[in-house]
Amino acid sequence: MTDIFSSLGSAQKPAPPRKRNGWQIALIAIAAVVVLVGGTVGLYAWTLSNTFDSAEKIVDPFPTNFDKRPAALTGDASKAQNILLLGSDTRGKNNGSLADMTGQRSDMIMVAHIPADRKNIYVMSIVRDSWLDIPGRGKAKINAALSYGGVPLAIETIEGVLGARIDHVAIVDFTGFKGITDALGGVDVNSQVPFTRGGHQFSQGLQHVNGTQALDFVRERKSFKDGDFQRTRNQQAFIKAVLTQTLSAETLTDPGKISGLVGAVAPFLAVDDGLNSSYLAGLGLELRDVRVGDVTFFTMPTLGTGTSPDGQSIVNIDWEELKAVQRGFQTDTLDEYEPTVQTIG
Report pLDDT for 29: 38
- In angstroms, the CA 38 to CA 180 distance is 9
- In angstroms, the CA 97 to CA 81 distance is 27
Report pLDDT for 249: 67
- In angstroms, the CA 191 to CA 141 distance is 27
List of residues 6+ apart from 65 with CB closer than 8 A: 156
Phi, psi of 88 (to 5 degrees): -130, 145
The tens place of each residue's pLDDT in the chain, 345 residues long, gives 544 443 333 333 344 333 333 333 333 334 444 443 433 334 444 345 667 778 889 999 999 987 889 999 999 999 999 999 888 766 445 556 777 766 677 778 989 999 999 998 898 989 889 999 999 999 999 999 998 999 999 999 999 999 999 999 988 887 777 888 888 899 999 999 999 998 899 999 999 999 999 989 988 989 998 888 898 889 888 888 887 887 676 776 677 777 777 777 778 788 899 988 778 777 777 776 777 788 888 999 999 999 999 999 999 999 999 999 999 999 999 999 998 877 765
Report pLDDT for 17: 38
How far out from the chain centre does Cα 203 lie? 24
Ordered by start, the domain boundaries in the chain are: 4-333
3-state secondary structure of 175: helix
Cβ atoms of 98 and 91 closer than 8 Å: yes
Report pLDDT for 12: 39
Phi, psi of 96 (to 5 degrees): 80, 5
How far out from the chain centre does Cα 302 lie? 19
Q: What is the DSSP letter of 138?
A: E
Q: What is the DSSP letter of 130?
A: B
The β-bridge partners of 87 are: 108, 172
List of residues 6+ apart from 236 with CB closer than 8 A: 4, 5, 123, 125, 297, 299
**Domain 4-333, what architecture?**
3-Layer(aba) Sandwich (3.40)
- In angstroms, the CA 291 to CA 202 distance is 28
**Degrees (nearest 5) of the Cα angle 30, 33, 34?**
80
Cβ atoms of 296 and 4 closer than 8 Å: yes
pTM more than 0.85? no
